[in-house]
Amino acid sequence: MTRRIQFRARPSTRDLRHELFHALGPPGRPPSHAIGFDRMLRGALEEPRVLVCDEAQWLSKLCFEYPRHLWDGTASDLTIVFTGGNGCFEMLQSEPMLESRVHARQEVGRTPLDEVLTVIPAFPPVWAEVDPDLIAVCDQEVAHGNFRAWAKITHHLTTGLRRHPLIDHGAGLLEQGS
């Protein structure tokens, strides 16, 4: 099961604790003291999980250390993925205890058009029947090989199709927006 956690810019460790509590859904109310809260979160993280911290460049050094603190105290196969823009990797490197646990760094660049034309129709079903030329135009004009941009386009497309269900396969909706 996947739960999305969103933080405001520069969240505190208290914010992280509460967002994790609500995402993991343990019974009861959030503990009032940090030690009890951490113990409860470690228990909730004992089954194998992947914790994705998106926009990690917004985390303070203390907040970068907090998931590592949970990881060190968890008896499971917890995997933590930090994703982010400018400054994310530099922040990881500045924290030796965290950086020493980084198993892989992956920089994701633009996806070439031939891959876009293969992946986009196969990934979100809404694109399965759309003309490849229209997908290429969307990539050239808006997405530029960026999957975050494709996610936004797909979200807008599916929202538009819910509002206008008579438009077939999204092509008509995309052409209307041009």
| Secondary structure of residue 53 in the 3-state scheme | strand
**Per-residue pLDDT at 170:** 46
Amino acid at 87: G
**Per-residue pLDDT at 92:** 79
| Secondary structure of residue 80 in the 3-state scheme | strand
Distance CA 143, CA 137 (A): 9
- In the structure encoding, which two tokens stand for residue 61, read together? 């050094």
DSSP character string of 5-46: ----SS--HHHHHHHHHHHH--SSPPPSSHHHHHHHHHHHT-
Distance CA 59, CA 45 (A): 20
Mean pLDDT of 47-70: 82
Backbone angles phi, psi at 18, to 5 degrees: -65, -40
Are 80 and 51 spatial neighbours (Cβ–Cβ below 8 Å)? yes
Residue 82 bridge partners (DSSP): 53
Lowest mean pLDDT among 3-7, 58-62, 92-96, 173-177: 173-177
Domain spans of the chain, in order of start: 13-99, 113-177
Give this prediction's pTM: 0.62
For 31-43, write each residue's pLDDT tens digit.
999 999 998 988 8
**Per-residue pLDDT at 154:** 92
**Per-residue pLDDT at 24:** 86
Mean pLDDT score across all residues of the chain = 82
Are 94 and 61 spatial neighbours (Cβ–Cβ below 8 Å)? yes
